[in-house]
């Protein structure tokens, strides 16, 4: 047996050890709580960022995309009508035929069309349409023909631009490179891959409609990559797709008035990645005065 003082020393040492062990346990539990808290914060931030990314992902019209559109890219097209995409892999799209580059200011092309296809311009073309004259574009594709009534009153610059490009045969041989079932079909990229990013040689400003009701079914509008970046790319609004378009983004400059069944047939050819499952190519665009009435 030890002395009384030894006993007290052992008891004191025991208490010290128990206190130290308790403190270690507390610190361990605090570390665990901090780790859990940090992990929770990281997961919450990741979740919020993921949701934000979903909200701003382009859906397509309108990812009604000109040089990068989406027709369009954009946060203005967060959803599309519930139209099932076509099944199948993306079709191989033919490259547009080679075209010449205009080095001098663009003159007005002949009404019957230029002899050669022009692919790139030295600047914005002049006004070549007659004031007060209504025009329509007869678009012949490998899927059929449709006619567009151009709205030169609401969007004179865009309408004039389309007339000039058409008469310079810019659209001849150009495929529809983006098809979003239930939303839009998009074309007008005149120099091929990468599709949706062509260099026209100029861009022009927006002529925006007053409200979303302007984007009626089969509306004809400019695709773009942001404000005042209109060029050659355009899209046609499929039935029900107009409600997804923001009027602050896209110039509406016409409407398909006949051959809408052709638009519907093309609009059914987009897969889940908004890629055509069949190559549909514009063979020609003929500009003519619209009939009276």
- CATH code for position 227: 2.40.100.10
My answer on whether 125 and 257 are in the same domain is: yes
- Longest Cα–Cα distance of the chain, Å, equals 124
Q: Are residues 44 and 149 in the same domain?
A: no
pLDDT tens-digit readout, 139-189: 999 999 999 999 999 999 999 999 999 999 999 999 999 999 999 999 999
| CA dihedral (197, 201, 204, 209) positive or negative | negative
Q: Quote the number of domains for the chain.
A: 2
Whether 52 shows a pLDDT value over 80: the answer reads no
Do 152 and 255 fall within a single domain?
Answer: yes
Residues 130 and 238 in one domain: yes
In terms of residue numbers, what domain contains 260?
Answer: 100-289
The CA distance from 230 to 204, in Å, is 5
Q: Round to whole Å and give the CA distance between 88 and 110.
A: 42
**DSSP for 206-224, written as a single string:** ----SSGGG--TTEEEE--
Residue 154 lies in a domain: yes
Question: How is residue 244 annotated by DSSP?
Answer: G
Tell me whether residue 192 is in a domain: yes
Same domain membership, residue 107 and residue 28: no
Mean pLDDT to the nearest integer, 200-228: 96
Distance in angstroms (rounded) separating the CA atoms of residues 116 and 127: 21
Query: What pLDDT digit, counting tens, does each position of 229-271 carry?
Result: 999 999 999 999 999 999 999 999 999 999 999 999 999 999 9
Q: CB count, 10 Å around CB of 30?
A: 10
Q: Report the SS3 class of residue 64.
A: strand
List C-alpha distances in Å: 152 to 54, 111, 156, 160, 252: 37, 17, 4, 7, 10
Residues 46 and 108 in one domain: no
Tell whether 212 is covered by a domain. yes
Domain assignment present for 92: no
> 140 and 274 share a domain?
yes
Q: Is residue 68 included in any domain, yes or no?
A: no
Q: Is residue 112 part of a domain?
A: yes
Model pLDDT, residue 88: 87
> What is the percentage of the chain residues whose pLDDT exceeds 90?
67
Residue 69 in any domain: the answer is no
Mean pLDDT of 91-98: 97
In a domain, 72, yes or no: no
193 and 248, same domain (yes or no): yes
Length of the chain equals 293
Please check whether residues 17 and 141 belong to one and the same domain.
Answer: no
Which pLDDT score, from 0 to 100, does residue 98 have? Answer: 96
pLDDT at 7 over 50: no
pLDDT at 102 over 70: yes
CA 263 to CA 260: how far, in whole Å?
Answer: 5
Q: Are residues 19 and 155 in the same domain?
A: no
pLDDT at residue number 152: 96
| Least-confidence region, from 2-11, 106-115, 129-138, 246-255 | 2-11
Tell me the pLDDT band of 34, cut-offs 50, 70 and 90: low
Residues 158, 23 share a domain: no
| Residue 1: predicted pLDDT | 46
Do 188 and 278 lie in a common domain? yes
262 phi/psi in degrees, rounded to 5? -70, -45
- pTM of the full predicted structure? 0.76
| Residue in the structure block whose two tokens are 């209109």 | 230
Average per-residue pLDDT for the chain: 82
82 vs 207: which has the higher pLDDT: 207
């Amino acid at each position: 047996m030890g002395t009384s003082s030894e006993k007290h020393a052992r008891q004191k040492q025991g208490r010290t050890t128990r206190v130290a062990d308790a403190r270690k346990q507390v610190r361990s539990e605090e570390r665990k709580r901090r780790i859990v808290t940090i992990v929770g914060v990281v997961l919450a931030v990741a979740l919020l960022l993921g949701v934000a990314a979903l909200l701003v992902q382009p859906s397509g019209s309108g990812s009604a995309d000109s040089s990068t559109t989406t027709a369009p890219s954009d946060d203005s097209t967060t959803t599309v009508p519930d139209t099932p995409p076509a099944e199948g892999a993306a079709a191989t799209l033919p490259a547009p035929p080679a075209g010449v580059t205009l080095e001098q200011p663009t003159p007005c092309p002949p009404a019957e069309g230029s002899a050669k296809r022009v692919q790139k311009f030295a600047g914005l073309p002049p006004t070549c349409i007659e004031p007060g004259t209504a025009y329509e574009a007869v678009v012949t594709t490998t899927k059929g023909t449709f006619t567009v009534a151009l709205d030169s009153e609401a969007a004179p610059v865009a309408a004039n631009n389309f007339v000039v490009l058409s008469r310079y045969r810019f659209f001849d041989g150009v495929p529809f490179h983006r098809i979003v079932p239930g939303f839009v079909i998009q074309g007008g990229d005149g120099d091929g891959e990468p599709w949706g990013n062509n260099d026209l040689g100029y861009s022009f400003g927006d002529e925006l409609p007053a409200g979303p009701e302007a984007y009626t079914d089969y509306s004809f509008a400019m695709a773009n990559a942001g404000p005042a970046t209109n060029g050659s790319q355009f899209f046609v609004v499929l039935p029900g797709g107009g409600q997804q378009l923001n009027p602050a983004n896209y110039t509406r400059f016409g409407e398909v008035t006949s051959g809408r069944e052709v638009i519907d047939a093309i609009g059914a050819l987009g897969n889940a990645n908004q890629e055509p499952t069949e190559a549909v190519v514009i063979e020609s665009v003929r500009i003519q005065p619209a009939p009276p009435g």
